[in-house]
Structure 1
Amino acid sequence: MKQGTLNSKIVVLLLLAAVVLYLGVSAWQSFRDPFSTALTYSYTVDDSMEATGFLVRQEQVLTGTGGVVEVLPQEGEKVSRGGTVALLYQDSSGLERREELEQLELEKEQLEYAIDRLDQGGGDSSQLSQQVLDVIVALRSCVASGDLTGLESRSMDLKSLIYKREYAFNDTEEGESAAQLQAALDSVNSQISALSAQAAQNTQRVTASQSGVFSGYVDGYESLITPDMLDTITPSQLDQLSAQRPSVDGTAVGKLVTNSTWYFVCALDQADAERLIEGRSVTVRFSRDWSGEVDMTVERIGDTENSRSAVVFSTDKFLSDTTLLRRQTVELVFDSITGIRVPKQALRVDQQTVTDEETGEESQTSVPGVYTLVGEQAEFKPVTVLYEGDSFVLVEPADSNRKSLRAGDVVIVASGQLYDGMVIQ
């Protein structure tokens, strides 16, 4: 046992020594290697700036009084004119009554399905089983995404399908007869009628006076800043709005956005505002409470006030995704440059001889480019510089052929003298 333990220790020490030796040799070679390389890749640089401002929409606040409020539409959902937005109950018993009605409606649906199946003498059980599996998959998706509203709806669907499947697999002789099922359905209908009559007495509905997009977020800015104000708004007024803490109507149950066009207004320094042109498009990048890029039109560039101007942008895209946003810091992207990123040290200027096709005269010209490692040889590839950063440059191939620089090529960063075709060892 002692001899085996000693041998094991010797093997471990030998392996450790081999690893240390390998690392040491690699480090020594890297210091002596006159050629260091880097991998190129596609990269985008934005010419942009940050701006803080307000999202402005045509909004109508919906109000109602009640002990318990149940909001029906989801955030960002379209609501038609006359559609019910919320139910107002005098107390919690009204909400419990509604939940009981939903259960009875579900039971009614199941009984009607069972009676219909008895009348037809059977049904497609395999199709029903597949529907159950589909709803389970959708249920898991709701759980993963945190969609609580969808989770509740899918749970009800799954419960209904499971009961239907149970009826489908029950034998008629062992299950309830058609008469028993009809009696149960009549009883359920009677309970629904009674509960509906009670609910009508202590339930109020809040309906939409016009069509629009619903939002449950009411912040008090709905009347403080409106689209009609944007034609004359100034940087000082925006500063005042930023400093305010608006009060919210306690009876508000939500609001409707009644126009698909929405706006973003902010104050920019005069130099930045001068880069914009009314009527042109600019990309506005949201990255905080909502992540997305929106192409917006420059609607108005206001007069200069203390070296600042109020700028208004507009769009009719992504309204349902932005209903929860109000005061936001965004990125205004004036331009984007995409190219191949290489280290600045890899950029070289090669002197090449050019022959004039008409006169035949030869002249020396400077050609910017990089040396790439192709096999064991250095190959010069001309490039055009698109952008220069602190430690890198963005380039594009100066010509288009099979030897042009491409993303993924290995460029030689540091070395002594290099020439096209030089063997790199």
Structure 2
Amino acid sequence: MKSSLTQRFIITLAALFLLGYVGVQIYVYLGSRYKTETAYLDSVRENAKVSGIVLRQEEVLTNENKEVIHVNNGITAYTVEDGTKVSKGMTVAEIYQSEQDAKTVYKIRELEEKRGRLEKAAQAAPDSFGYADMLNKEIFNEIGQITAQVHTGNLTELSDPASHLLELMNTKQITTGIRTDKFEGPIASLRAEESYFRAQIKTQPSSITAPKPGYFIRKTDGLEGYLNIDNLDELTPEDVTRLMNVNLWTDPTVAGKLMTSHNWYYITTVSSDDTRFRKGRSVTLDFGVSEPVSAVIVEVNKNKEQEQSVIVFRSNYINPDVVTLRSTQADVSFNSVSGLRVSTEALRFKGLERGVYTVLGDHMVFRPVNILYEGSGFVLVENVIDEQRYENSLKLFDEVITEGWQLYDGKQIK
């Protein structure tokens, strides 16, 4: 009797254990049918390093007879920097017969600039305290800019802000009544110095002027006049290679050249399989000589029989460093794309519409998506903020189903 009760107890325990084990397995099985991840904001920026050549619409400086201007004698002093926008007839350089004359004229111009700043400050009206407050703000702002420039270690561009700061401080002295003589003494002294140095000039310099409007560049290299913007779509990889292998040579006797259009072009070759280079796409080019510049891809010359395609970038950013570039490397940064990041495996189709299934309470909901970027194992989709589309769209922090079977809209999960 006791043995029978023991047997029943053991059998009951075994049955309960088996039932519990099966229940746990069913729970684990049902609970693991779906794997999820959280949708979050992310952004990507792709980069590519290329080698290419910069081409511009350029013309060497010529005289009225369309003859190239050469400087064979004397000392050339340029009055404008590379990349300066000039008008027709504007002086870009002066030729001196002696180094002393060049130094003397430079000194005269320094004195004229100082006098001009004092004369401008002297025109301020006294007792304009409202104006004085504005001057204080400008002075502190200028000091801040100068300090920031010093911290960068680049002191070559401090001349203009320092001169402007001095002008502001002089103006404040007149406005607040600290000075009542309107700098008459210093101005007269500067005029006297100018007259003295003018008398020291033995030969007046001759001027070189721009024959037409454009951007001035001091040095030539032999590729002037090559670019024809009408045949950019005909350039081949062989053309690019040949241009990059040209032996550039600067003729020291040529006075300079003009870039006659505000647009310039960077031309390179890439693999024809690289789909990132698409016509019309905006990019950033970093040549390592100044801040990166914005550009747009205007031509993609593909040939089915060639492994390389010609890519033509266009930019209108002008500065002294960029206008002197020729054969050079560049880091191409494609504009960053931002959106909600989800795994590629989460993408599903509901009819012809692509989207993902998300967990909403105890059931799943289909959310259509607009893919902005496809990466390795993930996609970035539009983060919808439009009120009319927001309700039915994928949202930040939604739980997205990445694994599961028999997924459909409204299906119960628990």
TM-score in same-fold range (> 0.5)? yes
Residues 332, 260 of structure 1: alpha-carbon distance in 2 compared, 3 angstrom cutoff: same
Cα deviation, 1:184-206, whole Å, max 9, x if unaligned, reads 64443232233235457364433
Structure 2 residue 398 is the aligned partner of structure 1 residue 409: yes
The residue type equivalent to 1:288 in the other structure is: D
Where does residue 221 of structure 2 map in the other structure? 220
For the 8 Å contact 1:58–1:257, the answer to whether it is kept is: yes
Aligned to 1:38: 38
Separation (CA, whole Å) in 2 of partners of 1:50 and 1:92: 48
Gaps of 5+ in 2: 1-30, 62-69
Check whether the contact 1:215–1:255 (CA below 8 A) recurs between aligned residues: yes
User: CA-to-partner distance for each residue in 1:385-412, whole Å, 9 max, x for gaps?
Assistant: 7475431235569994614213443424
Give the C-alpha shift of residue 60 in structure 1: 2.9
Root-mean-square deviation (CA), in Å?
5.0
> How far apart are the structure 1 equivalents of 2:304 and 2:378?
39
| Shift in Å, 1:294 | 2.9
**Cα distance in 2 between the residues matched to 1:43 and 1:140:** 33
Counterpart residue number, 1:255? 257
Match of 1:81 in 2: 88
- The equivalent residue for 2:23 is none
Kept after mapping to 2: 8 A contact 1:369/1:383: yes
Which residue of structure 2 aligns with residue 307 of structure 1? Answer: 306
What is the CA–CA distance in structure 2 between the aligned matches of 1:313 and 1:59, rounded to whole Å?
18
8 Å Cα contact 1:38/1:411 also seen in 2: yes
Which one-letter code corresponds to 1:159 in the other structure? Answer: L
Structure 1 residues 257 and 420, CA gap change in structure 2 (3 angstroms)? same
Distance in 2 of aligned mates of 1:138 and 1:106: 18
The answer (yes or no) to whether the contact 2:285–2:295 under 8 Å persists in 1 is no
Shift of the alpha carbon at 1:373? 4.6
Corresponding position: 1:91 with 2:90: no
CA apart distance, 1:258: 1.3
Q: Is the 8 A contact 2:263 2:316 kept in 1?
A: no
Change (3 A) 1:126 1:100: farther
Name the structure 2 match of 1:244.
Answer: 246
Name the counterpart of 1:60: 59
Q: Which amino acid counterpart does residue 282 of structure 1 have in structure 2?
A: G
Residue 323 of structure 1 aligns to a residue in which SS? helix
User: Structure 1, residues 285-309: CA drift from partner, whole Å, max 9, x if none?
Assistant: 34321634433544x959x697378
Which residue of structure 2 aligns with residue 16 of structure 1?
Answer: none
Distance 2:334 2:127 in 1: 62
Give yes or no for contact 1:85–1:206 (8 Å, CA) kept in 2: yes
- Indicate how the Cα distance of structure 1 residues 270 and 156 shifts in structure 2: closer, same or farther if over 3 A, else same: closer
Partner residue in 2 for 1:326: 326
What SS does the corresponding residue of 2:148 show, helix, strand or coil? helix
Residue 220 of structure 1 and its aligned partner are, at CA, apart by 1.6
1:269-284 matches, cutoff 5 A = 281-283=279-281
Look up the SS of the partner of 2:364 in the other structure: strand
CA distance in 1, matches of 2:311, 2:411: 54
| Residue 114 (structure 2) aligns with | 106
Q: Give the alignment of 1:329-348 within 5 angstroms.
A: 340-347=340-347
8 Å Cα contact 1:283/1:293 also seen in 2: no
* Distance in 1 of aligned mates of 2:389 and 2:176: 68
| Residues 269, 307 of structure 1: 8 Å contact kept | no
Tell me what 1:130 maps to: 134
CA distance in 2, matches of 1:411, 1:241: 52
**Cα contact 1:64–1:206 (8 A) shared by 2:** no
Q: 1:10 aligns to what? A: none
Shift of 1:266: 4.2
- Aligned match for 1:393, one of 379, 394, 409: 379
Describe the shift of the 1:91–1:123 C-alpha distance in structure 2 as closer, same or farther (beyond 3 A). farther
Letter of the structure 1 residue corresponding to residue 316 of structure 2: F
In structure 2, the CA distance between the partners of 1:286 and 1:225, relative to structure 1 (3 Å rule), is: farther
Decide whether the 8 Å contact of 2:52 with 2:267 is kept in 1: yes
d(CA) in 2 for partners of 1:94, 1:332: 44
Partner of 1:422: 413
- Post-superposition offset of 1:86: 3.3
Deviations 1:142-174 (A, max 9, x none): 6536686753122112213323433454567xx
Q: Is the 8 A contact 2:338 2:380 kept in 1?
A: yes
Structure 1 residue runs of 5 or longer lacking an equivalent are 1-32, 351-364
Cα distance, 1:206–1:142 mapped onto 2, change above 3 Å: farther
Q: Within 1, Cα distance between the matches of 2:178 and 2:268?
A: 70
Paired letter, 1:307? Q
Give the letter for the 2:163 counterpart.
M
Q: Quick one: which amino acid aligns to residue 110 of structure 1?
A: L
Name the CA distance, whole Å, in 1 between partners of 2:87 and 2:231: 28
Q: What's the TM-score once normalised by structure 2's chain length?
A: 0.63
Which residue in 2 is equivalent to 1:19? none
- Hey, what does 2:65 align to over in structure 1? none
Are 2:307 and 1:295 equivalent residues in the alignment?
no
- Alpha-carbon distance between aligned partners in 2 of 1:111 and 1:335, rounded to the nearest angstrom: 49
Return the match for 1:211 from 210, 213, 216. Answer: 213
2:101–2:203 CA contact under 8 A, matched in 1: no
2:224 match: secondary structure = coil
Letter in 1 for 2:192: S
Distance 1:252-1:219 versus aligned 2 partners, 3 A rule: same
